[in-house]
Chains A and B, each alone.
Chain A
Amino acid sequence: MTLTRRQLLALPALASLARPAAAAAQTATGGTVAAQTATGGTAALRAALALEHEAGHTFPELGARVDEATKELIRDLDADHRRQRDRLIEELVAAGDEPAAALPAYSLPLPVIDRSSALDVLLLLEEALVRAYAEVVTRADRAGHRSLAAELLARCATHQTSLRFARARSLVDATDPLPGG
């Protein structure tokens, strides 16, 4: 699935990636946390955390709207994202940062009318996460952050393959040459 930049930026949290790094991390109240002093790597990590928060809201919401088999996949991916979110929070805290909390609510980037559109939304989110983690790898100023991002990039890339297969029941175009562009 290749998304246009416009589609990607439709994701609320991903839109922060398009803004300057200093403004990338937002709290639930819309304010910035230490944004003026955040390094590029920390800002990129915060942007990834914002997307993981969004995943923590979106996966359970859409998991409730699909068939049992798909529900099980979504439940597993949701659990994976929660672990990823917790690890990002741990990394940020260890770096002396104050991780932002989740927003009170998230709007879906696309209307969800059936199983297929639900999977489209989840694929959009995974695509955004893959790009966000690739960005952390590029901008990280700590080797630990870079390693973590590389690991989570690979995990989200495998999520993409699983979701693409679930959506199309086909493995054609289920993989990418360089996930994250």
Chain B
Amino acid sequence: MTPAVTALVLAALGTGVLAGCSADGDPAPGPSATPSPAADSAVVRRALDRERALLAAYDPAASFADPTLASLGAAARAHHDLHLAALLEIASRLGISTSETPSAAASAGLPTPPAAVDDVAAARRILALEAGSGEIAVREVHASADARVARLVAQIGASEAQHATALYLALREGQIRRREAPLATPAPAAT
């Protein structure tokens, strides 16, 4: 896969990993031109919301029938657990409140792709979420004043861009196949 192709495919999916961040385009404008400690708090809280939303999206991963998707999902989920732990640690050091708001997922700013009806659709849905989250994280670095926050958020964004790329490659190469949710086991025939 090439970065250019990735951008095109993801754009077609209604999102765009690193959209606004193309190597030959202008960087997307950050939310703040003058980063401040308060801005860092907001950056960390939004990153926490995104990680919680992504972890929620991976909840059904345990039931994926496709082994490639199940494997990618398990690895990505472990990464998101680590992202969440790292964000909580840095928030604790900086004295940032980390309580989860009821609307955390909604406020994370992630795209809302259609519900998945099979494994391919599920993979495309998660790809869109990962790409959207990665894109936002990269853009959020601009608003950060604290170098540790900036680095962590940038690394999280890069990891999510990798997840989106891996899902794209798996779909393109046919490594994730269209399989509907298994039917309930039929009752044994009466004798």
**Which A residues lie at the B interface, using CB under 8 A?**
72-73, 76-77, 79-80, 83-84, 87, 130, 133-134, 137-140, 143-144, 146-162, 165, 171-172, 174-180
Would B147 and A154 count as touching, CB distance under 8 A?
no
Count the B residues whose beta carbon is within 8 Å of the partner chain — how many?
52
B5 nearest in chain A by CB position = A76
B157: chain A residues within 8 A (beta carbon): 150, 153-154
Interface of chain B: mostly helix, strand, loop or mixed = helix
CA distance in complex: A91, B20 (Å): 17
Check B142 against A80 for contact (C-beta < 8 Å).
no
Residues of the B chain whose Cβ atoms lie less than 8 Å from the Cβ of A73: 1-2
Min C-beta distance of A63 to chain B, whole Å = 13
Chain B residues contacting A133 (CB-CB under 8 Å) are: 154
Among B3, B86, B153, the most chain A Cβ lie within 10 Å of the Cβ of: B3
Contacting pair B79 A150 (CB below 8 A): no
Q: Supply 8 A–B pairs (Cβ within 8 Å), ascending by A.
A: A76-B3, A84-B23, A147-B30, A148-B27, A154-B138, A171-B68, A178-B86, A178-B155
| Cβ–Cβ < 8 Å partners of A158 in chain B | 3, 6, 17-18, 158, 161-162, 164-165
Known: A76-B4, A83-B23, A157-B158. 12 other contacts (CB 8 A): A134-B155, A143-B30, A149-B154, A150-B153, A151-B21, A153-B158, A154-B18, A154-B134, A155-B21, A171-B71, A176-B79, A177-B78
Q: Could you give, for residues 1-42 of chain B, a 1 whenever the CB lies within 8 Å of some chain A CB and a 0 otherwise?
A: 111111000000000011001011001001001010000000
Contacts A76-B2, A149-B154, A165-B169 given; does A179 touch B23 at CB 8 Å: no
Contact A143:B155 (CB < 8 A) given known A158-B3, A174-B166 = no
A162–B154 contact, CB under 8 A? no
- B127 close to A (CB within 8 Å): no
- With both chains docked as a complex, state the minimum distance between the C-beta of A151 and any C-beta of chain B, in angstroms: 4
Q: Is the CB of B158 within 8 A of A146?
A: no
Is the beta-carbon distance between B166 and A87 smaller than 8 angstroms? no
B165 touches A162 (CB 8 A): yes
Contact flag A174-B162 (CB < 8 Å), given A151-B27, A155-B18 = yes
In contact, A137 and B141 (Cβ under 8 angstroms) = yes
Cβ of B159 under 8 Å from chain A: yes
Q: Which residues of chain B have C-beta atoms less than 8 A from A160's C-beta?
A: 162
Q: Is B151 an interface residue (CB 8 A)?
A: yes
The 7 A-B pairs with the shortest beta carbon distances in the complex, nearest first, are A76-B2, A157-B158, A150-B154, A150-B141, A175-B162, A83-B23, A151-B21
**A176 and B141: CB pair below 8 A?**
no
User: Which residue of the partner chain A has the closest CB to B68?
Assistant: A171
Q: A152: which B residues are within 8 A, CB to CB?
A: 23
Instruction: Tell me whether B35 and A80 are in contact (CB under 8 A).
Output: no
Q: Is the CB of B166 within 8 A of A161?
A: yes
Which residues of chain A are near B61, meaning CB under 8 Å?
none
A150-B141, A150-B154, A172-B71 known; A177+B3 contact, CB < 8 A:
no
Cα(A176)–Cα(B159), bound, Å: 6
- Cα of A158 to Cα of B18 in the assembled complex, Å: 10
**CA of A176 to CA of B148, assembled, Å:** 18
Expressed in whole angstroms, the Cα–Cα distance for A72 and B163 within the complex equals 22
Residues of B within 8 A of A150 (CB): 138, 141-142, 150, 153-154, 157-158
| Nearest chain A CB to B137 CB, angstrom units | 8
- Enumerate chain B residues within 8 angstroms of A130, measured Cβ to Cβ: 158
Tell me, rounded to whole Å, the shortest Cβ–Cβ distance linking A83 to chain B.
Answer: 4
